[in-house]
Amino acid sequence: MSLPLDLGVFRDLFVALTEEMGVVLQRTAHSPNVVERRDYSCALYGADGTTIAMGDHMPVHLGSMPLSVAAARGAMELQPADVAILNDPSAGGTHLPDLTLVQGVWLEGDETPAFWLANRAHHADVGGRTAGSMPLTGDVYEEGVVLPPVRLMRGGSRVEPTWRHLLANVRTPEERSGDLAAQLASLATGERRLRALVDRYGKGRIEAMGQALVDYAARLVRGLLAGIPDGAYHFEDVLDDDGRGARDVAIRVTVEIDGETARVDFGGTDPAVEGPLNANPAIVRSAVFYVVRALLEEDAPANDGVLAPFVIEVPEGSLLRPGWGRPVAAGNVETSQRIVDALLGALAGAIPDRIPGASQGTMNNLAFGGLKDDGHPFTYYETVAGGAGGHPDGPGASGLHTHMTNSLNSPIEALERALPVRVRRYAYRRGSGGAGRRPGGDGLVREIEALSPLEGTILSDRRRRGPWGLAGGVAGAPGANWRLRGERAEELPGKAEFRLEVGDRLVVETPGGGGWGEPEAE
């Protein structure tokens, strides 16, 4: 089904608006995580909060942000030039470092917002027990400051108590203030571009095209589902551990296709855990949205129509609906990846010629901090890329951020310029991709030397078993983490808090992707 010309034009106009919001955010931010890795997302919503368009940013952000917009709309009556901020996992948040800003756009004569704009950026520190706010803790309170929907701006002016409260709880207030200013600039850019579109085409035309794109996306997805054989397809995958004693934490899913509709049921998934692997329904929604979008044609609109034909069921008290107070830092990054693996594994039973082998299945989250030579604190966060799964059309890519992350690799120069560290090695991990007719891509090796004492956390997975292959393909190699002290090498768990003295090195070896198809005989 080709995109009608007028819908194609407006789809591109709306996406261009959100992409420009992202460019402004990236170019005006202070932290390497936003500037270099582009760990942010931007989107446009209708008057009722329906997603109209989103930038080509972070899948784990984009599918969950509508719930944050709904939470902000429900918590307060925002007025013109007001901006809400939140990160609460029970209000559409993912994990605490992801700060979401929400703003309404009023048009002349309107008493309520005609549209909503939102962006989300991962801040390298929001307080908590460890630098980078990704600790191996047993509750959410040690992960950082929790913000329900509150006003950050009122009538275009800062709400000083909100700013002071947030900045008083972080290790790097100047950097946080700079990244928040970039998010505000992004919203201002989006509002200007949206008003220009309304001036050119009229409010009615913009609203009608937004709804038409949502309806069109829903029709595309119904057509996609109609081409998948009816039936119930099951799959189970496991996370290595939660970092606090639980092992082989299982995610179980049944995808039931019935004509042009589908039900995704996570019944049987393991209960919530003590460690930070717990996710929430907003992350589940993001993962389902991503998988469906990946199966659509490239020019398909990305909006709320994508999930219109779906019912998603998540059991209370499970890893994916843990209830308030559980730690969630790794749910957004590690558990989200395993949800995608489970969904793709289930769909491989229905459409095996369209599903790749498992990609690295982890984001290899690295957060650390300490003091610079001038005594000022620093914090840093990054994810490390790995191998993509081989697929029916070709081999998997190497050294790529896969699935629920869509970030870039952090350049060595940016890391060394900003922090007292030296990157000793950054290379492909040759031979780590699984063998197959279409082999999996290779992971990476990243070795960082401390030039001043630092402490940090690594949250990673696929350290005990590699990403699975499909159709006879071989699994990719598991990852590994090491601390090097002189000639001594100490293997670190997949989820660990660590300390480096001057001269110590941290080595992260990321998994390769699973292969697809029986390896060809030599």
Q: Is 161 within a domain? A: yes
Q: Is 444 within a domain? A: yes
Q: Is 465 within a domain? A: yes
Burial class (CB in 10 A: 0-12, 13-18, 19+), 126: buried
Domain that holds residue 211: 5-217
Give 43-80 pLDDT, tens digit per residue.
999 999 999 999 887 778 878 899 999 999 999 999 99
Q: Is 330 within a domain? A: no
Is the pLDDT at 1 greater than 60, yes or no? no
Q: Is 280 within a domain? A: no
186, 217, 248 — which closes off a domain?
217
Q: Determine the pLDDT at residue 62.
A: 79
Q: How confident is the model at residue 522 (pLDDT cuts 50, 70, 90)?
A: low
Of 361, 383, 387, 389, give the one whose Cα is nearest residue 240: 361
Q: Is 328 within a domain? A: no
Counting the structural domains of the chain, the total is: 2
- What is the overall mean pLDDT for the chain? 95
Burial class (CB in 10 A: 0-12, 13-18, 19+), 207: middle
Range 306-324 average pLDDT: 97
Q: Is 295 within a domain? A: no
160, 192, 217 — which closes off a domain?
217
pLDDT-above-70 percentage for the chain: 99
Q: Determine the pLDDT at residue 297.
A: 82
Range 501-520 average pLDDT: 97
Q: Is 326 within a domain? A: no
Range 317-337 average pLDDT: 96
Contact partners, residue 454, CB within 8 Å, separation at least 6: 131, 368, 369, 370, 420, 421, 499, 500
164, 188, 217 — which closes off a domain?
217
Q: Determine the pLDDT at residue 408.
A: 85
